[in-house]
Amino acid sequence: MLKKIFLTFFLALPACAAAYDSGELAEFNDQYRTGQYEEALEGYKLIIAKEPSNQWAWYNAGNALFRLNRTGPAVYNYAKSFMLDPRSQDIRANLDFALRQTGQSLVPEGAPSALHYLYYLFSELELKAFAVLLFWFACLAGAGCFLLDGGRRTGYYSGRVALTAAGLLVFTVIWLGARESSPYSSAGVVIKAGGTRMLSGPGDKFKTYASAPEGRLVKILDTGDEAYYEIGLQREGIKGWALKTDIEKL
């Protein structure tokens, strides 16, 4: 029974990709194919507004933006798509290509590609759903073992199932914790053409001492100010304040 539930769960994960070229999305894809990138982009934005979890709308918007030479917004849209569907080879390839235009890459230098793929095998939403499923499964199996007093055969197997589910739950929680260090966690993308200034404080009265180029993934460290984010560039090990209008939060 447990195997059947897990199998059903894992087979259901990629099913959403079937909506890639259907309905309204197909109509706007036709505009994209004929070079009407602005028109297609507006259509993709309409779908995103209605279906913010539609990874293909984000992906196609990224394609249109890239064709329009808006690198920063293209990286942002590809990154949003990747966070929703990290297993898609098309999404991974286009995000990596766009990142490389700004001196970045999807797979960090020196990291094995296979390990990186496993690290992002599931989206955070999928991992959280899996954790909730495992929690309740462990609770139900544990209750069954307790009620059956562990003495009967069914009670014994209920106990084993509860322990297995609890172990998988711990592993999933650790995985989620590890993902907090992901470049896409608490992050944003510089969308302003030409990049954004990094100030020593939140306001024009503070000194400009660095800049973040367009399309750069940045860590958002503080959102408390009304007009500015405190951002960090992990590779350079520096931080500063940038206008919120220059950064699109993931």
pLDDT digits (tens, 9 = 90+) for 60-111: 999 999 999 999 999 999 999 999 999 999 999 999 999 999 999 999 888 8
CATH homologous superfamily for the domain 187-249? SH3 Domains (2.30.30.40)
The runs of H, that is alpha helices, within 101-223 are 113-119, 124-147, 153-178
pLDDT at 4 (0 to 100): 40
User: What is the model's pTM?
Assistant: 0.84
Of 96, 93, 95, 123, the residue nearest 16 (C-alpha): 123
Residues of the chain with pLDDT under 50: 1-20
pLDDT at 25 (0 to 100): 81
**Could you tell me if 44 and 64 are in contact, meaning their C-beta atoms sit under 8 angstroms apart?**
yes
Alpha carbon dihedral 19, 20, 25, 28, in 10-degree steps, equals -170
Angle, CA of 83, 62 and 28, to the nearest 5°: 115
Residue 114 to residue 117: CA distance in whole angstroms: 5
Ranges of each domain in the chain: 13-102, 124-181, 187-249
In CATH, which of 2.40.70.10, 1.25.40.10, 1.20.1250.20, 1.10.443.10 is domain 13-102?
Answer: 1.25.40.10
Percentage of the chain beyond pLDDT 90 is 64
